[in-house]
Chains A and B, each alone.
Chain A
């Protein structure tokens, strides 16, 4: 059956109201970040925190897929890349408005999700992991071959996107708050979604797909829609990511990035939504701190990841308790 919910004994409720205290604290602290930013070098802190918020959005989309639908996508960076390249390519062609860019990014993300999902979601488990990984890699090679748009090297954007013709995202704080607002909105939307009729069917297919078929649900359609929703959210994160980095390259959708995203979702604790945000903060902070000490920080980070998988089951929200 699914890879995630291999629990012989019921451990935690399948869908609980995710609680309000932790999310309120998390979003509250995130909202206060710009006030504290000058303490650590304004530009550096804002750039780092915007990256955290944007990747948290992508990790959140993955938690919907892994944590609630039990579907492991190892190609989610492709959606980030689609969003980022929508900004990059459209900017290069003179379309600099974020509304148009987002519309294209979301449409292409949805189309890519529906087409690849139609193949990948006919399978389960390990097959799904490998197939999504392969499709992600396919997009990576496609981007590398776009000679007109930087090819392997990628391209630098002329500037940040405009909002309805106005230069609203130019400031670092403005971009940060826009990203945070998007994260908050998507978070609230997904909270509703997982408690809705659709969300229940999704959780049911994760728990036991045969049971769901035996009461009249064919899982494929629900899984495909969940995959598309998740892909669209990650595509939106890609639009924001391009604006944060000011640079678009195939590396945006490297398979390592896909792995990072899964780690962020898992590290925070699957199936709680806000866990994905906490996980992203923890993951990127660990990366940043280690990189501060040594150029070869990965030699420490790798074992850290292995130990996290072996010993920290349930992730950060598991430590705090799910109902907190």
Chain B
């Protein structure tokens, strides 16, 4: 496929008089890890909500894999291959780890209006799920209830769930929030590995991780993209230094 996998054109969103996203445009290329950074209140979370389908933009367009998905619901976008993870860990706590992932596999493999055959021992669901758990380093936890996992393991599980939907692009909303140093290192490894499977749009505060992982970085300030480019050029960009890395530059 040619052209970007995700193209965002002049996206805008206001809450009352507050313009949260104000004319945001950028594109994510296939296979790319594109990071969006920006100071607190820059509108990063709202952007994620608009891209994933939980918030309606007031203006602009979102093109995914060549299709206009501006008005599509979250499940519709996921089925087209636009997966997301949440800022606050969102798993099914009373399901086992394996079941969490198997359910995501099930979502992309045919109809779920099947009422008779037991899903729990279906190799068509469990085998891909097990493989993903192994790949994300939580294979030994497969039969534990997901709610009992450690914080870092839950983040890993969430990535496995997102990948299980067979996405072309994953939106990651601060996957490193609240993780320990050790967990951060492991998840960065996993993201590097994840990059081989699909494009990633990463919203993250951890600059060290962003500059280590990203192919390109977009900087969001007050609801606008002020710079986009390779990590080094963005780091050197005077507009960015002024607006965002201000105190460092001084």
Write the residues of chain A forming the contact surface with B, with a CB cutoff of 8 angstroms: 5, 7, 9-15, 192-193, 195-201, 203-204, 207-208, 210-218, 222, 225
Decide: A199 near B119, CB < 8 A? Known: A9-B147, A214-B52, A216-B78.
yes
Which A residues lie within 8 Å of B145 (CB)? 10, 13
Which residue of chain A lies nearest to B76 when distances are taken between CB atoms in the complex?
A218
Smallest CB separation, B77 vs chain A (Å): 9
Q: Quick check: B95 and A14 within 8 Å, CB to CB?
A: yes
Smallest CB separation, B160 vs chain A (Å): 11
B79 is an interface residue with CB less than 8 A from chain A: yes
Which A residues lie within 8 Å of B79 (CB)? 216
Which B residues lie within 8 Å of A197 (CB)? 106, 112-115, 117, 119, 122
Which A residues lie within 8 Å of B78 (CB)? 213-216
Smallest CB separation, A2 vs chain B (Å): 12
Count B interface residues, CB 8 Å: 40
Which B residues lie within 8 Å of A204 (CB)? 92, 95, 103
Which B residues lie within 8 Å of A195 (CB)? 118-120
Which residue of chain A lies nearest to B111 when distances are taken between CB atoms in the complex?
A197
Q: Quick check: B90 and A5 within 8 Å, CB to CB?
A: no
Which residue of chain B lies nearest to A11 when distances are taken between CB atoms in the complex?
B94
User: Considering the chains assembled together, what is the distance between the CA atoms of A195 and B116 in angstroms?
Assistant: 8
User: Considering the chains assembled together, what is the distance between the CA atoms of A175 and B110 in angstroms?
Assistant: 42
Which A residues lie within 8 Å of B120 (CB)? 15, 195
5 A-B pairs with the lowest CB-CB distances in the bound complex, closest first: A10-B147, A216-B78, A14-B94, A216-B107, A218-B75
**Which among B84, B106, B108, B148 has the greatest number of chain A C-beta atoms within 10 A?**
B106
In chain B between 163 and 199, which residues have their CB closer than 8 angstroms to a CB of chain A?
A: 164-165
Smallest CB separation, B48 vs chain A (Å): 12
In chain B between 110 and 146, which residues have their CB closer than 8 angstroms to a CB of chain A?
A: 112-120, 122, 145-146
Which residue of chain B lies nearest to A214 when distances are taken between CB atoms in the complex?
B84
Write the residues of chain B forming the contact surface with A, with a CB cutoff of 8 angstroms: 52, 73-76, 78-79, 83-84, 86, 90-96, 99, 103-104, 106-108, 112-120, 122, 145-148, 161, 164-165
Smallest CB separation, A275 vs chain B (Å): 17
Q: Quick check: A193 and B165 within 8 Å, CB to CB?
A: no
Which B residues lie within 8 Å of A196 (CB)? 114-119
User: Considering the chains assembled together, what is the distance between the CA atoms of A3 and B74 in angstroms?
Assistant: 23
Smallest CB separation, B239 vs chain A (Å): 34
Which A residues lie within 8 Å of B107 (CB)? 215-217
Q: Quick check: B115 and A200 within 8 Å, CB to CB?
A: no
Could you show 15 A-B contacts with beta carbons less than 8 Å apart? A10-B146, A14-B92, A14-B95, A196-B115, A197-B106, A197-B117, A198-B114, A198-B115, A199-B115, A208-B91, A211-B91, A211-B92, A214-B83, A216-B78, A218-B76
Which A residues lie within 8 Å of B116 (CB)? 192-193, 196
User: Considering the chains assembled together, what is the distance between the CA atoms of A13 and B95 in angstroms?
Assistant: 6
**Which among B52, B75, B104 has the greatest number of chain A C-beta atoms within 10 A?**
B75
Which residue of chain B lies nearest to A193 when distances are taken between CB atoms in the complex?
B115
12 other contacts beyond A218-B76, A222-B113, with CB at 8 A cut-off?
A9-B93, A195-B120, A196-B116, A197-B113, A200-B99, A207-B94, A213-B73, A215-B83, A215-B103, A215-B164, A216-B79, A216-B108
- B84, B91, B94: the one within 8 Å of A13 (CB): B94
Decide: A214 near B73, CB < 8 A? Known: A14-B95, A196-B116.
no
Which A residues lie within 8 Å of B113 (CB)? 197-198, 222, 225
Which B residues lie within 8 Å of A216 (CB)? 75, 78-79, 104, 107-108, 165
Which B residues lie within 8 Å of A10 (CB)? 93-94, 145-148
Smallest CB separation, A178 vs chain B (Å): 24
Q: Quick check: B114 and A5 within 8 Å, CB to CB?
A: no
Smallest CB separation, B161 vs chain A (Å): 6
Which residue of chain B lies nearest to A201 when distances are taken between CB atoms in the complex?
B112
User: Considering the chains assembled together, what is the distance between the CA atoms of A9 and B74 in angstroms?
Assistant: 27
Which residue of chain A lies nearest to B104 when distances are taken between CB atoms in the complex?
A215
Which B residues lie within 8 Å of A203 (CB)? 95
User: Considering the chains assembled together, what is the distance between the CA atoms of A13 and B99 in angstroms?
Assistant: 11
Q: Quick check: A7 and B161 within 8 Å, CB to CB?
A: no
Decide: A210 near B90, CB < 8 A? Known: A13-B145, A217-B112.
yes
User: Considering the chains assembled together, what is the distance between the CA atoms of A215 and B146 in angstroms?
Assistant: 16
User: Considering the chains assembled together, what is the distance between the CA atoms of A192 and B116 in angstroms?
Assistant: 6
Q: Quick check: B118 and A207 within 8 Å, CB to CB?
A: no
Which A residues lie within 8 Å of B86 (CB)? 210, 214
Q: Quick check: A192 and B118 within 8 Å, CB to CB?
A: yes
Which B residues lie within 8 Å of A12 (CB)? 94
Which A residues lie within 8 Å of B115 (CB)? 192-193, 196-199
User: Considering the chains assembled together, what is the distance between the CA atoms of A307 and B25 in angstroms?
Assistant: 59
